[in-house]
Amino acid sequence: MIGGNDMKRQVLLYGSMVVFAVSLYSIGSYLYGYFENARDLADIQDVYAAPVTSEEAAQVTQMETEKPLRENITKLQNVNDDIVGWLELDGTKLNNPVLQAEDNDYYLDHNYKGGYSRAGSIFMDFRNDPANLGKHTIMYGHVMRDNSMFGMLSKYADEEFAKENRVIRFETMYDEYELHVFAAYETTTRFYYLDTEFEGKAFGEFIQEIKSRSRIDTGVDISVHDQIVTLSTCTTTDDDDERFVVHAKLIQKQR
């Protein structure tokens, strides 16, 4: 018969083995999530970078819209018609399609293929109109530890990095833009920086509040006559209310 002490040792051993197995599975699942995200992003980046075929060009020509369509984004809508743009910062892993759903929840945990993904997608606020960008456009993305998605956003807290990487490229179905970063800071959800519509002096007051919170000064002039884009992500702390935010001036490039 097994003695009491031997039984306890066996229980502890089996318990340790179970904990180890669960931990190993969790780590493996976590790492696979990063691998899967990198693979899927590489696939859509290839689609985006590939030359537009004559068939795709003809498809764009046949579409009846008020503005001419940009073929690069239109062909991505053959993959998912929720793709409304592309966001890219040279020299970093930020090189992503921008999605938009009917709410701000779906693409928190779905990729551009519509499948479940812990990495989610970079997505535009459902209140924004990608065809006619207003005073304030907002995009969200997860803070990934491999610096993909919005994982590199917190680097903008460093003024030297911000000045060297001041311009982010943004393309929609209709236009191409430069985002000139002018502010970056850590905040919480208690500061409501997510208004998309402003009345009276509210927009000017919003800009002043942003500038007063910013940890950087990139020399970009910003006024109430401008349009701005906000990039928002979580932080790597355990506080679910913390956010890191980057604001940029929206400048449309000439066709």
- Active-site residues, by number, are 234
Question: 217-238: buried (b, 16+ CB within 10 Å) or exposed (e) per residue?
Answer: ebebebeeebbbbbbbbbbeee
Q: In a 3-state reduction of DSSP, which class is residue 107?
A: helix
Please name every residue paired with 88 in a beta bridge, in sequence order, or none if there are none: 95, 169
Strands (E), the chain: 83-88, 95-99, 122-124, 136-140, 167-172, 176-188, 228-234, 242-252
The torsion angles phi and psi of 248, rounded to 5 degrees, stand at -140, 150
Write down the residue that tokens 């690069």 correspond to.
72
Write down the residue that tokens 């956003």 correspond to.
153
Alpha-carbon span 121 to 119, nearest angstrom: 7
Q: Which of 246, 140, 238 is nearest to 185 (CA)?
A: 246
